[in-house]
Chains A and B, each alone.
Chain A
């Protein structure tokens, strides 16, 4: 139990650090975020120049920072509003909209693509790696090892561009079913309909594939190595002598123990994928959190920038925290806290 508390504390601390960092970053920019906002507001509404109070309120509304307050006061105010889920209001992209609303509309899509990519990649990598290990030094093993290494050396965005060009805009057979842009087909509403589900899947396919194809290689090779090592373990030999069915040995003995070291890898890869989402969503015009982050940077939209930054990092922190919590379930040797004591 202790350990859980500690781990939760760590996650919370990371979140706090991220939020604080975004605050500091805004403050430390070579130009003043407030100046930009003020200039922009006055440009939209010249009357504000005279009405300093009104101007201040509007600035505070957007940046969650009172330009006249001291830095401590500003920090406290800012933290309070973030904790209440208020991330300010945009002024560049989609001017005037609540940042939290934009993110709420985008985050599920990013998570959807990322989950598809992560699970697809690991399913492919684990299965392939295990089969390669079982057929060590066969033609299947050699050719797949080579392909995996080549695939792993391609950057995901290059794969994305290739996919867009040759699949996304191709009419060849079923390829026209796989679009290269947007989150959904035109005119399909969110809901539990076949159009929605299949549309969401088809539109997420290419972004996810870009990650899968370029990411599975190293994982598959690692799985292969782990499996070969596990196959040589005494307990696998004893399991065979005990007459256990091959399937059980493959899954419960070789697979389970070979996957363990990869679990941490899986969790870390979620982090890199969220980072990759920024570029990938831009390429596929996929309106997820990463897409808005890049838009915000281009438009110098400070609140949206901060909001997406906070949310992306928070998603990573939560994913890693979840991974840590579940690792103990997978590997009994890493039991959390005092209950793992040997006797």
Chain B
């Protein structure tokens, strides 16, 4: 049973008119001794050219797997199925999963680039930053001199002393500098899409903010489409145009950031908003979500959120909800969106909305 049938017209459903990446029925399974572990379940997602798309989920919700899937970089022995299509600015759409190794090697970093979780350890400790830049250019047959000039420029754009950073070894840079150097390295080959998985996780709050600001200007200057994956909803809400929420290896809600913040349809999203620490929300109103994220081998039947959901009824146990249209561009996978809005009032929607509007 595929959700695909319901997507008769993509544009109508998600309000995406010029897609750059289209993910259809993406599924990742690991065969394990205790059963099949499905760590990405029927994910459908379209990334619009030039947007910043935020993907939010708890740890263990499969969001890193989604990031790997976009680059067809799921680690062995995981098996990725479904389809992932990349639409270059000019030229024919590319079916990512059917590329040869060499074509895939070219696609990665040249067209779709990535900043992984664990940026602190993404550099070879025995090589200078310059070495990383040069070998990347070299591996992709780029002109080294020209490329290094661009590298310096990007580093300066990120407020780094480019000469000094280039000459440094990774351990000589602070966390924030290393993170920015990694971002610079990821856009060195002028990709169209930058996928970032928790790019600010290991940084302090101040540094997170400044990196967000830098990312926004980088996006403008280099004409990037960004997919920003994080557990930190308020953080990504500030940056993103649209949000997609992940729960139990599925995308359970998608829509424009404002819509989701003010009018989330899925009980999980609403609880997540309420559970999120926010400076403007009184601490007494913060409510953690009871229960824990499901085990990938043993996802609950019906709606996978039902054991934790406060508005669940029998129907939720029996059937898996498909996307319900909330507005033109906003969908949520829940039978009882309307009930949820009433049952789970948002405690701080005002505050987040204010932050979101510059």
Contacts and interface: CB of A to CB of B under 8 A. Distances in A.
B139 A234 contact: no
B126 A234 contact: no
Contacts of B108: 241-243
Contacts of A243: 105-106, 108-110, 136, 139-140
A235 interface: yes
Contact of A241 (B73, B123, B172, B173): B73
B122 interface: yes
Nearest to A244: B139
Nearest to B102: A243
Contact of B139 (A242, A257, A330): A242
B169 A242 contact: no
B213 to A, nearest CB: 23
Contact of A333 (B75, B110, B136, B169): B169
A224 B340 CA distance: 55
A241 B121 contact: no
Contact of B124 (A253, A330, A342): A253
A235 B136 CA distance: 13
Q: Which one of A233, A243, A333, A343 has the highest number of Cβ atoms from chain B below 10 Å of its Cβ?
A: A243
B124 A257 contact: yes
Interface string B125-138: 11110000001100
Interface in A291-343: 330-333, 342-343
Given A237-B116, A241-B114, A242-B108, A330 B126 contact: yes
B123 A235 contact: yes
A235 B122 contact: yes
- Chain B interface size band reads 20 to 34
B171 interface: yes
B122 A252 contact: no
A239 B169 CA distance: 16
B106 A238 contact: no
Interface in B51-82: 71, 73, 75
A148 to B, nearest CB: 26
Interface residue tally of chain A, by bracket? 20 to 34
A256 interface: yes
Contacts of B302: none
A341 B11 CA distance: 55
A331 B126 contact: yes
Interface string B306-330: 0000000000000000000000000
Contact of B135 (A248, A330, A331, A333): A248
Interface string A200-236: 0000000000000000000000000000000001110
A260 interface: yes
Most buried by A among B126, B139, B172: B126
B118 interface: yes
A241 B109 contact: yes
Nearest to A245: B139
A260 B126 contact: yes
Contacts of B127: 252
A134 to B, nearest CB: 13
A257 B126 CA distance: 7
B140 A332 contact: no
Interface string B166-205: 0001011110000000000100000000000000000000
Given A260-B126, A343-B172, A244 B136 contact: yes
A257 B136 contact: no
Contacts of B105: 243
Contacts of A332: 125-126, 128, 169, 171
A244 B169 CA distance: 19
B71 A241 contact: yes
A161 B223 CA distance: 72
A242 B139 CA distance: 8
A241 B182 CA distance: 13
B171 A342 contact: yes
Nearest to A341: B172
A45 B1 CA distance: 110
Given A241-B71, A244-B136, A252-B127, 5 more contacts: A241-B109, A248-B139, A252-B124, A332-B128, A342-B171
23 contacts: A235-B124, A237-B116, A238-B116, A241-B71, A241-B114, A242-B108, A242-B136, A242-B139, A243-B106, A243-B136, A243-B140, A244-B135, A244-B136, A248-B135, A252-B127, A256-B124, A257-B124, A257-B125, A260-B126, A330-B126, A332-B128, A342-B171, A342-B173
- 7 tightest Cβ-Cβ pairs between the two chains A and B: A243-B105, A234-B121, A332-B169, A234-B118, A238-B122, A244-B139, A235-B124
Interface of B: 71, 73, 75, 105-106, 108-110, 114, 116, 118, 121-128, 135-136, 139-140, 169, 171-174, 185
Interface of A: 233-235, 237-245, 248, 252-253, 256-257, 260, 330-333, 342-343
